[in-house]
Amino acid sequence: MFKIIHAQFLAPGIKRFVIEAPRIARKQKPGQFVILRIYEEGERIPVTIENSDPERGTVNIVVQSVGKTTHLLNSLNTGDSILDVVGPLGKPSEIANYGTAVVVGGGVGTAMAYPTAAALKRAGNRVISIVGARNKELVILEDEMRAVSDVLMITTDDGSYADKGFVTDKLRQLIQNGARIDLVVAVGPIVMMKAVADMTRPEKIHTVVSLNPIMIDGTGMCGGCRVLVDGKSQFACVDGPEFDAHNVDFAVLVQRNSMYRDAEQKSMAEYQRAVSAKAGEPAAEPCVAASSGVQGEQR
Amino acid sequence: MSPTVKKSLNPVPIKDRMKVPRQAMPEQAPQERAHNFTEVNLGYSEELAQREAQRCLECAKATCTENCPVGVKVTEFVELIVAGKFLEAAAKIREDNVLPAITGRVCPQEDHCEGKCLLGKKVKPLGIGYLERFVADYEQRMGKHVLPSVQPTGKKVAVVGSGPSGLTCAGDLIQRGHKVRVFEALHELGGVLVYGIPEFRLPKQIIREQLDYMREMGVEFETDVVVGRTITIDELMHEEGYDAVYIGTGAGLPQFMGIPGEHLNGVYSANEFLTRINLMKAYKFPVYDEPMLNLQGKNVAVIGGGNTALDAIRSALRLGAGHAYVIYRRSEAEMPARIEEVHHAQQEGIDFHMLTAPVEFLSDGKGWLTGARCVRMELGEPDSSGRRRPVPIAGSEFDLPLSVAIMAIGTTANPIVQTTTPGLGTNKRGYIQASEETQRTTRKGVFAGGDIVTGAATVILAMGAGRRAAKSINEYLATGEW
């Protein structure tokens, strides 16, 4: 059992948990993730590590509600426990002094982009961070990102905060203005990571993306998370999750992440029915997010 | 001292024992069991066990024991069954094997003890596996077992991996007085026993009981620890004070064939398919949260001919598959699976496409599997494994419509421990180098055994390695010599 020391919403549907996990806290490096299971009948899902405190033995995870498990998780509070938390998993980000690094975080992906941006800054890079969200309420970790960036740019899809548009608009401007860029790291929705890759490919800018396929064990034993990179199967949990964006087959990732869409919707609908019944309310329509409630979207 | 002639308790005279037929194992009817996950074999009654035990020829040179990877004293425990001393028989097995309820069920006895039984030269060999299973189950039913008393040595050993090899090593070490802690990456203990082998062959309850017994003996377990990620071997030894480490992490990474279409939705590795079913109980979705593709009425094929392949396809059948196929590139004679399981699968209605291999997986154009293009094979010259090499027959391609394909063509070494442990030697296939005799690796105080050393093998061979390692660790801890 892993105790939740503190739980707090950062934005609607996006919650940060501080979890007591001393072994993970001691070892965690930017780019890594955990797999967790909330309760006995639960599934295992990969979740972003935002930060950790080796002294206090705590790990911060950031979770967005998209399906049953993440809704359940985000209903937990300070003092509750999570049955299983395993990690840190995956290869750490390759941190070096590249020169100028552009770190792009989309939605909850910002939580994973943050430790990488911080590490790149510590390694002596000039860090330009671009954070994007659908609207003002969903912008997360602004202060944290600002603290580790030389330049911070924020976009919202609807223009309700900072600049209207997508993160890729900012990246395009940087490229068009002839800014020196030695590395781009993008973490977020697949469409965003693909758009970033397509933009930097003709410019031959080294670009790394953190992939978010469906996972079970997260230790390399099942291959459920296999992704097609440079025409070859790679296991994102042990060979990644970060890969050279220009070699990733994003279409296969999208296709594989849709594998259990029907089951996920069914699971979410039943969960919502149960929650409503408990609250004595009529069953609500399945929420919009549930239709994209792919496990992998967590990361 | 005059040699004492031991008087046999067996009421059947030696000359008549060959006339007693091997007692069949009662089992669920094929048409019934093909739709449930309840154990196929139902186990011997006391009467059946005693009658079967009476067939033992009590050989002076027990070739059965010599051929058991952990050296179970077969004639001695069988004699105790003949005498009706079932608990004593169980204790006798436990001297050499801490997991008898498991090995009695999943060992390929035809390759080990029963394969060398003298009876087998004329009639059917003694049902050693069935008898072992009987006494282990009897002991559990009675709820009685004797805990060995041991003197603590003050030494600490970390066991990495809670599969058959790690559990055996831990069981032997605790009986020698060492403090033992087992680290497991998954949330449940048992390794392949819990994620790989299905309920209908090995009920999970049996594993839990064996683990409880080990806890009673004093073995400590910690789940959710991926050694190499959560903690390294060096940290275990230098920071957590372990005097020795045993690595029994298994051969985890599934292999794929590298043919077109393997990334399609509907193509699973056997490890993933079985993990979803056995560990995550996806067949109870949505009571359990882990989903899997609906197999009801679908065409499902497994590629491969080992026990894993049969476990996967028989599970698919139980999940409602309309047609279930085994696609194997050699012939039945070369199948590495246990004979009993092949028979069980055939009885349940699984179709075997022998001498056949897929060359491509076919797509509906939207990323979903619709079939496999297969080619027929013929057997050519023997290859490095000594088996005749399958050669494709030109022009024999045919398409098999499929919704799900499960790859069970083998596994390779998981590199997590090796790549995070400086100085730990590996061979060219990435497996850990360890002495066959002592299981010592190239790192002082670090031992390894089971599939992570040999590549994928059997439960009992992994247990044999765990036993040898425990003996060798014991010697190392006593002398400090490497």
Same domain, A126 and A79: no
User: What pLDDT is recorded for position A291?
Assistant: 33
Same domain, A71 and A111: no
- Average pLDDT on B149-178 reads 94
User: What pLDDT is recorded for position A25?
Assistant: 97
Same domain, A74 and A123: no
User: What pLDDT is recorded for position A297?
Assistant: 47
Same domain, A28 and A106: no
Residue ranges of the annotated binding site of A for [2Fe-2S] cluster are: 222, 225, 237
Contacts B240 to A, Cβ<8 Å: none
User: What pLDDT is recorded for position B4?
Assistant: 54
Same domain, A120 and A250: yes
- A69: domain CATH number is 2.40.30.10
User: What pLDDT is recorded for position A294?
Assistant: 37
| pLDDT tens-digit series, residues A105-115 | 999 999 999 99
Residue of B nearest to A261 (CA): B291
Same domain, A110 and A253: yes
User: What pLDDT is recorded for position B264?
Assistant: 96
Contacts A42 to B, Cβ<8 Å: 288-289
Same domain, A141 and A232: yes
Would the pLDDT of A296 be above 50?
no
| pLDDT tens-digit series, residues B396-441 | 999 999 999 999 999 988 888 999 999 999 999 999 999 999 999 9
User: What pLDDT is recorded for position B5?
Assistant: 56
Same domain, A138 and A244: yes
User: What pLDDT is recorded for position A287?
Assistant: 45
Query: Using CA atoms, how far apart are residues B208 and B78, in angstroms rounded to an integer?
Result: 26
Same domain, A242 and A162: yes
Residue A62 lies in a domain: yes
- Average pLDDT on B18-32 reads 91
- Boundary (domain end) residue, out of A59, A89, A119: A89
Would the pLDDT of A91 be above 70?
yes
Ordered domains of chain B (ranges, CATH): 14-28+36-142 (1.10.1060.10), 156-252+413-479 (3.50.50.60), 253-410 (3.50.50.60)
A222 touches chain B (CB under 8 A): yes
Query: Using CA atoms, how far apart are residues A201 and A207, in angstroms rounded to an integer?
Result: 8
Residue A34 lies in a domain: yes
Would the pLDDT of B270 be above 70?
yes
- A217: domain CATH number is 3.40.50.80
| Diameter of chain A measured on Cα atoms | 59
User: What pLDDT is recorded for position B86?
Assistant: 94
Interface subset of A 35-54, CB within 8 angstroms of B: 37, 41-44
| pLDDT tens-digit series, residues A227-276 | 999 999 999 999 999 999 999 999 999 999 999 999 899 999 989 998 88
A255 touches chain B (CB under 8 A): yes
A91 touches chain B (CB under 8 A): no
Q: Which residues pair with A58 in a beta bridge?
A: A20, A53
Would the pLDDT of A299 be above 90?
no
Name which residue leads in pLDDT, B250 or B8.
B250
User: What pLDDT is recorded for position B149?
Assistant: 77
The residue range of the domain holding A187 is 100-257
Contacts B224 to A, Cβ<8 Å: 84-86
Would the pLDDT of B385 be above 80?
no
User: What pLDDT is recorded for position B72?
Assistant: 95
User: What pLDDT is recorded for position B386?
Assistant: 77
Q: B397: which 2 tokens?
A: 């391609």
CA distance A259 to chain B (A): 6
Contacts A41 to B, Cβ<8 Å: 281, 287-289
Name which residue leads in pLDDT, A120 or B385.
A120
| pLDDT tens-digit series, residues A28-63 | 999 999 999 999 999 999 998 999 999 999 999 999
Percentage of chain B exceeding pLDDT 70: 98
Alpha helices in A186-260 (DSSP H): 190-200, 236-239, 250-257
Residue of A nearest to B288 (CA): A41
Query: Using CA atoms, how far apart are residues A136 and A123, in angstroms rounded to an integer?
Result: 31
- Specify whether the CB–CB gap between B346 and B34 falls below 8 A: no
- Specify whether the CB–CB gap between A299 and A227 falls below 8 A: no
Contacts A91 to B, Cβ<8 Å: none
User: What pLDDT is recorded for position B6?
Assistant: 63
User: What pLDDT is recorded for position A276?
Assistant: 87
Select the residue from A23, A68, A70, A222 to test the B interface by mutation, using most B Cβ atoms within 10 A: A222
Which residues, in sequence order, are CB contacts of B312 under 8 Å at separation 6+? B270, B273, B274, B302, B406, B408
Same domain, A126 and A85: no
Same domain, A229 and A198: yes
Count of domains forming chain A: 2
- Average pLDDT on B239-257 reads 94
Alpha helices in B245-387 (DSSP H): 270-274, 307-318, 339-347
| pLDDT tens-digit series, residues A162-204 | 999 999 999 999 999 999 999 999 999 999 999 999 999 999 9
| Diameter of chain B measured on Cα atoms | 84
Instruction: Look up the pTM and report it.
Output: 0.91
| pLDDT tens-digit series, residues B209-232 | 889 989 998 999 999 999 999 999
Residue A125 lies in a domain: yes
**Residue contact A86–B225, C-beta within 8 A:** yes
Q: B344: which 2 tokens?
A: 């069980």
- Average pLDDT on B439-456 reads 95
- Specify whether the CB–CB gap between B288 and A40 falls below 8 A: no
| Chain Cα centroid distance, residue A193 | 12
Verify cis geometry, omega within 30 degrees of 0, for the bond prior to A189.
Answer: no
Same domain, A124 and A61: no
Would the pLDDT of B452 be above 60?
yes
